[in-house]
Amino acid sequence: MKKALITGITGQDGSYLADLLLSKGYKVYGLKRRTATENYENVKHIKDEIDFLSGDLRDLTSLTEAVKIAKPDEVYNLAAQSYVGDSWKQPIYTGEVTGLGVTNMLEAIRLSNLNARFYQASSSEMFGKVVETPQTEKTPFYPRSPYGVAKVYGHWITVNYRESFNLFACSGILFNHESPRRGIEFVTRKVTDAVAKIKLGIQNELRLGNLDAKRDWGFAGDYVEAMWKMLQQDDPDDYVIATGETHTVKEWVQTAFNYVGLKWENYVIADPKFFRPAEVDLLIGNPQKAKGQLDWEPKVSFKNLIEMMVEEDLKRNSKK
């Protein structure tokens, strides 16, 4: 039986990846930091099938211990301070977790002499103020936030450990991916949750920032398949994972409101609080390498993704 250690198991991607690996017969260990209140929401349906190990990406001792206990064949490093907006409010913390935390995880693996394969959750935020469109594995990075800068560090330290120590280390440069398990602070889920609440009469307005930003949005369930496929190859490499389509935030908003038969202009209010000190205006990835080498393709369309999320938020909010 293969064994996998997932950091960030309580997050959106960690939970979908755990679903996938359990379905493939893996023994799954999940690194979870100590919290005063329960935060198992995304993994409550599989809680009894996962071995949770206590740890924090900033704490090498806990990572070393987790690797010692799990003896993993594969390590998926998904933990991060992942919210771009907060990375200006907590730049040092973001650097410590999202950047240096990657080195801690790599060191824990290297010092264990276990030959575990390693996946790093890199991000299209690294392209930031894009220097070419669409973005590929070869597009130079130009990060626009402390989060993006930390991810660039995490990406290059992964490449460096592969080249220095011959580790099987892959970096997935994933474009935005969403789902009903997405954190409520991200624009996609903020919108679908608000649309559901407005439809149900429990909210009457939605305050948003920049509606003109463009993102390449896919479904998280499709994207974790790509992570797993990267670690099944003969050689480690880096891959862009994207749909190859881009849409504005306004299109997301319009589509979500349309789905419940409402006009978005009647509810959305521009609020300067949600504009960022520096914006990433346009992201669109070219997933050709992943299609060719990993035989990976996204399955859920932009419209179906939004409808899936609005439906789930309608259900969730109806129960309250």
Question: Does position 224 bind ligand G4F by CB under 6 A?
Answer: no
Identify how many contiguous H helices and E strands the chain contains and give both numbers: 10, 13
DSSP string, 89-119: TSHHHHIIIIIIHHHHHHHHHHHHT---EEE
Residue in 89, 193, 97 with CA at minimum distance from that of residue 150:
97
Tell me how far, at minimum, the Cβ of 76 lies from ligand NAP, in Å. 9
Element (H, E) at 304: helix 302-319
Stretch that binds ligand NAP, among 53-61, 130-138, 198-206, 253-261 (CB under 6 A): 53-61
Question: Does position 175 bind ligand G4F by CB under 6 A?
Answer: yes
Question: Does position 128 bind ligand NAP by CB under 6 A?
Answer: no
Stretch that binds ligand NAP, among 6-14, 243-251, 260-268, 288-296 (CB under 6 A): 6-14
Stretch that binds ligand NAP, among 78-86, 158-166, 191-199, 264-272 (CB under 6 A): 78-86
Q: Of 15, 76, 125, 153, which one is the catalytic site residue?
A: 125
Q: Of 15, 123, 124, 145, which one is the catalytic site residue?
A: 123
**Which amino acid is present at 307?**
E
Q: Are 70 and 125 in contact (CB under 8 A)?
A: no
**Degrees (nearest 5) of the Cα angle 38, 40, 44?**
130
- Of 240-279, binders to ligand G4F (CB under 6 A) are 249, 274, 276, 279
Beta-strand ranges (E) seen in the chain are: 3-7, 27-32, 50-54, 74-77, 117-123, 169-174, 177-178, 206-208, 214-215, 218-219, 238-241, 247-248, 268-270
145 catalytic per annotation: no
Q: 258 is in the binding site of which of ligand NAP, ligand G4F, none (Cβ under 5 to 8 A by kind)?
A: none
Out of 53, 63, 208, 227, point to the residue binding ligand G4F (CB under 6 A). 208
Residues that bind ligand NAP (CB under 6 A): 7-14, 33, 35, 39, 56-58, 78-82, 97, 121, 123, 174, 176-177, 183
Residues with catalytic annotation? Answer: 123, 125, 147
